[in-house]
């Protein structure tokens, strides 16, 4: 008769419960019986799995486990996906019991000494106290602290924020005129005037930051969430950065560090190319609207988190076939 395996201690819990119980057993079957009795789970159809990744235990696998391994006891029809299940439960609590979670986090923070845990708790409280749906100043006065009284709602300020960025690009184009060849400055100035008129009619593309705008022209969701579009040389953001500047004052301020990055670089490439095109046009008409798109529209702009804003040279060029307007072909009639 085989000798019984020595008893080893394990930490058992139910799915969805943070409370753990110490249980000792020498076999998987013995641990399952004790666990079901202790946690009042019907034995039929019950299973044990690893807490960390949800791997279901077999008798052979059980024998390889070190003492005090954390296990989850599942009843018939229940499942456990590992730590991710706890995360999902936590996220659900944020929505269903938000006020209670905030109070609990504030209580923990008041006694916490470890800097890392302090930051985690402070960030959690900060994110849960967002007032995303509020739009007008009287609904969320804290959001408007430090802003001029002329901004009556969040969207009006966000439009101004976007407009300010676009205006700064126009200013750079204007300031470059001193580098333009003297014989081409008048033509360069005329193009600047055309671009300025187009920008004014488009309200400086301020729609990009306005959550009330149509989906086709805004860069955010209807709630105001912006997602990083990734570095100039990638199609997406590897870190999945996101932010909602409509949510609270701190997020509004942090959003100012996000960049509208020119894929084909403004200062190094687009503006010098425009100046060169004007200088060497030789009777051809500069396609100023192509340069307008590169300078001021999302055809060549990506919204990026500061960590995704690469300062290195992009080494991208303007499309040589679009610099001048195509001349209309004239056909002689014989």
Neighbour tally for 306: CB within 10 Å: 12
For residues 276-301, average pLDDT: 96
Q: Which long-range contacts (CB under 8 A, 24 or more apart) does 54-60 make?
A: 54/79, 54/80, 54/81, 54/82, 54/85, 57/28, 58/28, 59/27, 59/28, 59/29
260 CB-contact burial (10 Å; exposed 0-12 / middle 13-18 / buried 19+): buried
- Whole-angstrom Cα distance, residue 214 to residue 216? 5
Q: Residues of the chain with pLDDT > 90: what percent?
A: 74
Mean pLDDT of the chain: 90
> At 106, is the pLDDT very low, low, confident or very high (cuts 50, 70, 90)?
confident
Q: Which pLDDT does position 129 carry in this prediction?
A: 67
Give me the pLDDT at residue 120, please.
Answer: 79
For residue 334, the model assigns a pLDDT of: 41
Round to whole Å and give the CA distance between 307 and 35. Answer: 48
pLDDT bin (cut points 50, 70, 90) of residue 333 is very low
Q: Over 70: is that where the pLDDT of 292 sits?
A: yes
pLDDT tens digits along 146-179: 999 999 999 999 999 999 999 999 999 999 999 9
Average pLDDT over residues 81-100: 71
| pLDDT category of residue 24 using cuts at 50, 70 and 90 | very high
The whole-number pLDDT of residue 17 equals: 81
């Amino acid at each position: 008769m085989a000798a019984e395996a020595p008893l080893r201690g394990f930490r058992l819990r139910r799915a969805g419960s943070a409370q753990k119980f110490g249980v000792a057993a020498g076999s998987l079957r013995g641990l399952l019986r004790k666990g079901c009795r202790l946690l009042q789970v019907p034995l039929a159809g019950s299973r044990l799995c690893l807490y960390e990744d949800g791997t279901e235990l077999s008798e052979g696998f059980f024998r390889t486990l070190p003492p005090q391994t954390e296990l989850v006891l599942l009843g018939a029809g229940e499942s456990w996906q590992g730590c991710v299940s706890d995360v999902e439960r936590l996220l659900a609590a944020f929505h269903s019991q938000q006020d209670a979670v905030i109070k609990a986090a504030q209580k923990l923070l008041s006694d916490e000494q470890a800097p890392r845990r302090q930051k985690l708790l402070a960030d959690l409280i900060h994110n849960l106290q967002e007032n995303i749906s509020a739009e007008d100043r009287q609904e969320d006065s804290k959001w408007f602290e430090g802003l001029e009284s002329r901004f009556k709602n969040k969207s009006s300020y966000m439009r101004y924020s976007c407009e300010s960025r676009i205006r700064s690009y126009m200013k750079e184009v204007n300031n470059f005129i001193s580098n333009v060849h003297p014989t081409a400055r008048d033509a360069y100035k005329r193009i600047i005037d055309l671009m300025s008129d187009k920008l004014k009619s488009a309200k400086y593309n301020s729609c990009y930051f306005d959550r009330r705008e149509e989906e086709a022209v805004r860069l955010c969701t209807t709630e105001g969430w912006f997602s990083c579009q990734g570095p100039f040389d990638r199609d997406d953001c590897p870190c999945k950065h996101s932010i909602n500047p409509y949510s609270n004052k701190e997020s509004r301020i942090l959003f100012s560090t996000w960049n509208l990055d020119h894929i084909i670089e403004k200062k190094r490439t687009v503006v010098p190319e425009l100046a060169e095109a004007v200088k060497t046009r030789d009777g051809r008409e500069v396609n100023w609207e192509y340069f307008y798109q590169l300078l001021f529209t999302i055809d060549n702009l990506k919204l990026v988190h500061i960590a995704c804003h690469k300062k290195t040279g992009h080494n991208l060029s303007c499309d040589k076939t679009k610099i001048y307007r195509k001349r209309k072909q004239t056909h002689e009639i014989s």
